[in-house]
Amino acid sequence: MVKALAKVAKEHGSTVVAVNRPLCPLSTLVRKPKRFGEMSSTARIENIGENLRLFSPKYFVHDQIAQHAGALEWLNVAALRHSYRYLAAQLGISEKAPLVWYYDPQQGYVTKLFPDSFCVYEIYDSLNDIWGRPRPRADALEVKWRSKVDLLLTTSRKLFDRYSPHYRSAFPFGNGLDRDAFNKFCDEAVKPHPDIIKIPGPRIGYAGNISERLDWGLIKGMARLRPEWSFVFVGRVGGIDYERITQDYPNIHFPGEYRYEEVPAIVKGFDVGIMPYFDNDFFRYSNPLKFYEFAAAGIRSVSSNMEELSRFSQEIVVICKNEADLWIEQIGGFLARREIPVVAIGKDITRQFLWEEMNALVISQIERIIPAGNA
């Protein structure tokens, strides 16, 4: 999304700078020791795409600590403002009040950096934790910074309905693919990845981060009911004992982590895609990227309860209660219709959610609001 934003911003004569989580002398030594050497060097500026830079500044102390003490937060803001002057000098930027865009209420202090800046806050996920439990501190910070936000963006309509009444302007941004990714997932010349098709079919697949955020009780229940099906989980594994899982359920496979460029070929090796997340107040508000990847590749998918997906044809995605027998029934129905292609349906859906066009809409929203704010 950020790369697509950078391309669109270039047409308006603007530069996009993605900012790494700033380094802190205390937390970096403990949590990211490999980056501790950066503490004694100047802030890094990397070119990571067309009109896109990655900036790695430093601050006084970790923001989770600073948020509890106004003086520490002030020192962090001062350090970041100093870093911006260095960045501007290196890139030849003359803008004194750049547009600020942040994604987590804990980052709301960035609104203090440039008091005259236009501020965008994007709520990408529910503010609950992945277990669906409230995060009182996140809720308090979201409320604290509301008055500083000029435009709220949300990735789902459910998030929009919940938060938009509290903001001056809001826009349901959504989720999607950049045009290059869309073309690769749709490309019929891209063949299924050999590492995937060597796994016995039918292959019921998931590609992404593999962790405790997936409902392993549901997954194991499906594997138990259909030992002749292969359940394939491709990506980085963390927080679960995958070796024990494969020992107990030989039809659950973990091929490993692959480069994103390989994901279209991996997805094309699935017979049905799955998004088996927990049914709770974190995931119910979600709008998963996985769906758009599956759809662009012409792969039907079954998902846990995510309201945003109910707007799409049940020929391409079905929402299902987290009960193994119900998922088996839905997946079996899709497998029975494999000979009926849904490529055209998937293309038509994902073509409406391309980052380049979506970012252009956001910029038009900003241009609409700025004159009103200056009036």
What average pLDDT does range 34-46 have in this prediction?
72
Mean pLDDT for the stretch of residues 244-257: 97
pLDDT band at 62, cuts 50/70/90?
A: confident
pLDDT digits (tens, 9 = 90+) for 166-215: 999 999 999 999 999 999 999 999 999 999 999 999 999 999 999 999 99
For the chain, give every domain's residue range.
1-95, 179-350
Give CA 259 to chain center in angstroms.
Answer: 17
Token look-up 């039918």 returns 202
How many Å is the maximal CA-CA distance in the chain? 66
For 41, which DSSP code? S
Q: Could you tell me the CA-to-CA distances from 354 to 7, 98, 255, 281, 291 in Å, in that order?
A: 13, 25, 29, 27, 13
Instruction: Look over the chain and give the mean of its residue pLDDT values, rounded to a whole number.
Output: 91
Contact (CB, 8 A) for 66 and 73: yes
Angle (CA) 116-10-373 rounded to 5° is: 25
Class (C level, CATH) for 179-350: alpha beta
CA distance 157 to 308: 7
How large a percentage of the chain has pLDDT more than 70? 93
| pTM passes above 0.95 | no
Tokens, residue 166: 């509290």
Among 21-35, 224-238, 347-361, which is the least confidently predicted range? 21-35
pLDDT in tens, 70-99: 788 888 888 888 889 999 999 998 888 899
Looking at residue 24, its pLDDT comes to 67
Q: What letter does residue 219 receive in the DSSP assignment?
A: H
CA distance 203 to 101: 40
Cis peptide preceding 172, ω within 30 of 0: no
Give the pLDDT confidence score for residue 71 in this predicted structure: 84
Pairing of strands 301-303, 252-256: unpaired
Helices (H), 207-318: 216-225, 242-248, 263-267, 289-296
Per the listing, tokens 């600073």 go with 66
H-helix segments, the chain: 2-10, 25-31, 63-66, 70-91, 136-144, 157-163, 179-186, 194-197, 216-225, 242-248, 263-267, 289-296, 324-336, 343-350, 355-374
